[in-house]
Amino acid sequence: MNSNIITIDGPSGGGKSTVSQMLATHLHYTYLDTGAMYRAVGIKIIRSKIDENDQEALNQLLTDIDLRLSTDDSGTKVFIDNDDVSQAIRTAEMGMVASRVSAIPAVRRTLTTLQQEMGQQGKIVAEGRDMGTVVFPNAPHKFYLDATAEERARRRHLQLQEKGEASDYQNLLQQIIKRDHDDSSRDLAPLKAADDAIIIDSSTMDAEAVVRFMLDRINAC
**Minimum separation from the CB atom of position 108 to ligand DC (A):** 7
The residues binding ligand DC (CB under 6 A) are 12, 34-35, 38-39, 95, 98-99, 102, 128-130, 179, 183
Nearer to ligand DC, 24 or 98 (CB): 98
Nearer to ligand DC, 28 or 172 (CB): 172
Across 34-136, the runs of DSSP E, i.e. the strands, are: 67-72, 75-80, 83-84, 124-128
Nearer to ligand DC, 21 or 99 (CB): 99
Q: Residue 188: which residues within 8 A CB-CB, separation 6 or more?
A: 103, 105, 108
**Minimum separation from the CB atom of position 161 to ligand DC (A):** 20
Stated length of the chain: 221
Whole-angstrom distance, CA of residue 189 vs CA of residue 102: 9
Assess contact for 202 and 148: CB atoms under 8 A. Answer: no
**Minimum separation from the CB atom of position 129 to ligand DC (A):** 4
**Minimum separation from the CB atom of position 49 to ligand DC (A):** 21
Half-sphere exposure of 189 (CA within 13 A, CB side): 24
**Minimum separation from the CB atom of position 136 to ligand DC (A):** 11
Please state at what angle helix 34-48 crosses helix 92-101, rounded to 10 degrees.
90
> Parallel, antiparallel, or unpaired for β 30-33 and 124-128?
parallel
Assess contact for 193 and 144: CB atoms under 8 A. Answer: yes
Nearer to ligand DC, 31 or 38 (CB): 38
Amino acid at site 105: P
Nearer to ligand DC, 29 or 136 (CB): 136
Assess contact for 97 and 52: CB atoms under 8 A. Answer: no
**Minimum separation from the CB atom of position 17 to ligand DC (A):** 7
Nearer to ligand DC, 15 or 95 (CB): 95
